[in-house]
Amino acid sequence: MAVGHKPLSDLLDEVALKILMIEPGDLSIVGELLDLIEKLLPGHAPANTPGVIQRMAVAFKGALEKLIMGELADSAENYDLLGQCVTEMQESSRKEGQPGEKIIEQFCANMKKIGFPMETAALLGTTGPVSTGMGKADDESLSEAECALAPPQIKPAQAQAPATAGSSQEALPDFLQDTDLLAGFIEEAFEHLESIEVNVLELEQSPDDQDIINNIFRPFHTIKGVSGFLNLKTINRLAHATENLLDDVRNGKRAMDSAVIDIVLTVGDALKSMVENIKDVLQNGPANYKDTDISGFLANITQLQEGGAGAPPPEPVSVPAPDLQPEVFESEEVETLASEEAQAVVSPSPAIARGAQAVASPRADTPASSAARPSADAAPKKIGASIKVDVEKLDALVNAVGELVIMQSLVRQNRLVSRIADPKLTRDFSQLTRITSELQRTAMSMRMVPIKQTFDKMIRLVRDLSKKSGKKVDLIMEGADTEIDRNMVDSIYDPLVHMMRNSVDHGISPPADREKVGKPETGTVFLRAYQKGGSMMIEIEDDGEGLNTGKIRKKAIERGLVGEFDNLSDFELNNLIFLPGFSTADKITDVSGRGVGMDVVKKAVEKLRGKVEVQSQSGKGSLFVIRLPLTLAIIDGIIVRVGSERYIIPTIAIQESMRPDRKNYSTVHGRGENLLVRGDLVPIIRLYEIFGVQSTYTDPCDAIVVVVENEGRRRALMVDELLGKEEVVIKNLGGIDVPGVAGGTILGDGRVGLILDLAGVIANKAD
């Protein structure tokens, strides 16, 4: 049995978040979802994963594969139903694999609606063991009847591979002959395509701006030239045709209108998909290569060039390539590489997020897009020279600097050294401290990238959502130049997309409804980023309907989350939406439904050691606030002593600390020890019991308690002593998974301190 490094709950949260990102026709994300679900299959699931969840995962995987193969409808409704299936898997996990027949029946009913019929008995494991083809047969396998429903165990790449046998690496185009140039092209192509998208959206606001049209034309020209040089024939043909269309616009032969903008955006998506496939081939081998049918694009572009309105932009269709032999291009198809194209393959450019999907900044003086307007305080920023650095080298440098800072502190606090009363040594140590501190700040700043690349992607998202829902929405972005740890960029993207979808789908009303209540027909969504203290703040605010606090209270009472006579503030009630499975939606839409709640967003933020909360007023809008640490490499914490050991509690989770009064201490049968803190009973957790150390104090009233909050749960951690506040460099534990511990650090006195994972500590105590 292979034991996964991630707990079951984390894997299910990732599955839930990933399914929110799927749009019909986007099989790349479906493939990513399939990879995640495979980690829950028998033989691959984390230790102690209940059998019912493994059987659910097998059925879920079967349905996904049928979607990829085209045997089931690739529709938003089916993805919504799969989202509800994930919710039922999460509920089964919370109930430790004993969800009851109601949840099982609901899972099977959703699978049946998708077109993948299930029997309740198969999930309950009462129809007898049988091999699933993924491991040894045991009583956690599917029934024979269920296995008959499951499709063959194949990978998406196998499904897309050419059907003809004998296709070999030698039969593929010769773009694989120079992998270094190809890797450079992939990286630069992503940058160019992001630049195209940002500028096209700006062009909607000012369709006659020649500077923006040129900013779109040049990336297509570069992609065309380099792809021709590398013999990427399909990419070359599509980029060349689009370049010709844009050239007609530049020369006044064709007006820039919505039809041209739509085809350029759709071509950009298709090119991005093709470059992703080339990247997949480079990483995983020629078997993953697929050709794309671009005939629909070429016909539509030709029609637009001839003065027609153009048909709706076609979707790219991946087809097996019947003849993959290298092709000699016509001379007019490939121009000689100019210096700018040749340099695009090998020239250095800023290294930002892993995966190299950079965003080229639009001109500072260009108008805002139809979906986004710049803030009033936006100002041009000088861009300096930069080079690309491998992210592994950068991480190694940051780790080495962290070790240097720790070692400098150890030397300075050495008793033998501290006894030397030499003024010059003291001055030298002060200079060394200044240099190492500056070196650490510089090294940490190298991990930071502007959040602009993530914000720019929201422009397209809001534009597409507003068109799809028939609403008018302006997106106003502020603070896009605020820097964030590059390791957070990818992690924060999915939660941000879900919250933006919620703001447009649930927050902003249709124009007619807004006019009825005296609001402008165009709604506004603000997306802000700024630094506050030692934190990175991201705000999403809309001027829509706001949360229905009364409805939230009613739902919370129905679910037993609050008592009918509990006196909770509106703020506390509104933040109940982050509890698992909590929803007040009367219907699920294909924009922000999927049956997955806001708890997934909260967990994703908390994994980054952040917090998320909402402030809302009915009829006036909502404000979601995400607070993140500036970097994942350093944590601000309080060092506490428990016996002879040192632990670090993240400062962001601490509410207060105290020495308890005897009158506030009580024991409740079935609930253990509690402490009365500001009118609330807070359970006490004895850290020395969890970690098996000898404590100085065993009476809570003699010790110190630190009141912490995690996922809405308050606990009082019992410790012997508070040693002070310190910023510490986080070290991983070499792949060892210790419940309740997020990592370690070396303290200034040379001792090793463990950084507490409060979610794990609370769960450990609950067990």
Report d(CA 483, CA 628) in Å as an integer.
12
From its phi and psi, is residue 31 left (phi > 0), alpha (psi between -120 and 50) or beta? alpha
Domains in the chain, start-ordered, CATH in brackets? 8-160 (no CATH), 169-361 (1.20.120.160), 391-445 (1.10.287), 449-629 (3.30.565.10), 634-766 (2.40.50.180)
Give the CA-trace dihedral at 78, 13, 587, 500, to 10 degrees. Answer: -100
Residue 139, pLDDT score? 37
The two structure tokens encoding residue 94: 């919370």
- Say if CB 72 and CB 82 are below 8 A apart: no
Report d(CA 592, CA 586) in Å as an integer.
13
The two structure tokens encoding residue 688: 């020395």
Residue 470, pLDDT score? 86
Residue 334, pLDDT score? 36
Residue 332, pLDDT score? 37
Report d(CA 237, CA 715) in Å as an integer.
62
What does the mean pLDDT of the chain come to? 75
Looking up tokens 């019992």, which residue turns up? Answer: 718
Report d(CA 498, CA 505) in Å as an integer.
10
DSSP for 604-647? HHHHTT-EEEEEEETTTEEEEEEEEES-SSEEEEEEEEETTEEE
- Say if CB 724 and CB 714 are below 8 A apart: no
Q: Is 546 helix (H, G, I), strand (E, B) or coil?
A: coil
Helices 233-250 and 258-284, packing angle to 10 deg: 160
Report d(CA 466, CA 190) in Å as an integer.
25
**Tens digits of per-residue pLDDT, 555-596?**
888 888 787 777 788 888 888 888 876 766 555 444 444 445
Phi then psi for residue 717, to 5 deg, are: -85, 125
The DSSP bridge partners found for residue 317 are 293
Distance in Å from the first CA to the final CA of the chain: 24
Residue 177, pLDDT score? 62
Residue 594, pLDDT score? 42
Residue 351, pLDDT score? 31
Report d(CA 215, CA 109) in Å as an integer.
51
- Say if CB 714 and CB 378 are below 8 A apart: no
Q: How far is CA 203 from CA 261, 332, 359, 363, in A?
A: 8, 29, 17, 12
**Tens digits of per-residue pLDDT, 272-317?**
888 888 888 888 878 788 878 888 888 888 888 887 655 555 555 5
- Say if CB 93 and CB 9 are below 8 A apart: yes
Residue 580, pLDDT score? 74
Three state DSSP letters for 462-491: HHHHHHHHCCEEEEEEECCCCEEEHHHHHH
Residues in the chain: 767
- Say if CB 570 and CB 620 are below 8 A apart: no
Segments of the chain with pLDDT less than 70: 1-6, 25-28, 97, 124-178, 180, 308-386, 533-534, 581, 583-597, 669-671, 711-712, 734-735, 748, 765-767
Report d(CA 650, CA 633) in Å as an integer.
13
